A and B are shown apart, each in its own frame.
Chain A
Amino acid sequence: DSGVTQTPKHLITATGQRVTLRCSPRSGDLSVYWYQQSLDQGLQFLIQYYNGEERAKGNILERFSAQQFPDLHSELNLSSLELGDSALYFCASSPRTTTYEQYFGPGTRLTVT
């Protein structure tokens, strides 16, 4: 158990819908990262927040957005969902923004039908 929690574990929704994925980092960790993992793309970095502020952006679509709240939990919002958005979404946390290992949560499996 990494100490990172994610909810829900599974999510099934229809195309065009909007969903929110939630992540609570390890106690004391200020950085939260979101990744998408699909069979053909592997683990792809989406976005990072540090102590409530956006720090880095990766291959995140404009239909996706995220935020980190004062209690340091984070939410990833996915809207206008398409079939291709079906994937595992992972949250990771680390103590700082620089070279520290990232600890991953158990993931949310999103299925868009």
Chain B
Amino acid sequence: EDQVTQSPEALRLQEGESSSLNCSYTVSGLRGLFWYRQDPGKGPEFLFTLYSAGEEKEKERLKATLTKKESFLHITAPKPEDSATYLCAVQGTGAQKLVFGQGTRLTINP
């Protein structure tokens, strides 16, 4: 069964303090790995899709990378508005559904 584990569960940073969030996954053939941002009480907002090991994608202060076993979401010089829960999900070969991790709750203090 496809599984996703995210760490840490929660992360508190100072504004400008760069860090990384981890997403470890097991899947029988990776069709895609997805990163979402979710604000409290809102729907997940799509950030990135990664398809193969070695792939990287960037958007503003965020960069997502992918290996065969894990993905990292690097956040550079974060701002308070980057505070949110970041969700990782995988879609396995032959599967229609996304399997989500529990998320990392990121708080950026000014």
Interface residues in chain A, defined as those with a beta carbon under 8 Å from any beta carbon in chain B:
2, 4, 33, 42-45, 48, 55-56, 58, 88, 90, 92, 97-99, 101-107, 109
Nearest Cβ distance between residue A8 and chain B, in whole angstroms? 14
Establish whether residues B100 and A43, one from each chain, have CB atoms under 8 Å apart when the complex forms: yes
| A99 and B31 within 8 A (CB) | yes
* A73 shortest CB reach to chain B, Å: 17
Closest residue of A by beta carbon distance from B95: A56
13 more A-B residue pairs beyond the given contacts A42-B102, A43-B44, A45-B99, with a C-beta to C-beta distance below 8 A: A2-B46, A33-B97, A42-B101, A43-B87, A44-B100, A45-B97, A56-B95, A56-B97, A90-B44, A104-B43, A106-B42, A107-B42, A109-B41
Q: Which residues of B contact A102 (CB under 8 A)?
A: 34, 46, 98
Give the interface residue-count category, chain B. 20 to 34
Which chain A residue lies CB-closest to B102? Answer: A42
Interface of A is mostly: strand
Contact of A55 among B46, B49, B96, B100 (CB under 8 A): B96
Knowing A48-B96, A58-B97, A99-B31 are in contact, say whether A105-B43 is a contact too (CB < 8 A).
Answer: yes
Cα–Cα distance between A32 and B87 once the two chains are bound (Å): 20
Return chain B residues, CB-CB under 8 Å to A97.
96
- Interface bits B19-48 vs A (CB < 8 Å: 1, else 0): 000000000000110101000011111100
Q: Check A56/B45 contact, CB under 8 A, given A42-B103, A43-B87, A99-B51.
A: no
- Cβ of A53 to closest chain B Cβ, rounded Å: 12
- Contact partners of A107 in chain B: CB under 8 A: 41-43
- Asked if B98 contacts A99 (CB within 8 A), the reply is no
Pick the most buried of A42, A55, A101, A106: most chain B CB atoms within 10 A of its CB: A101
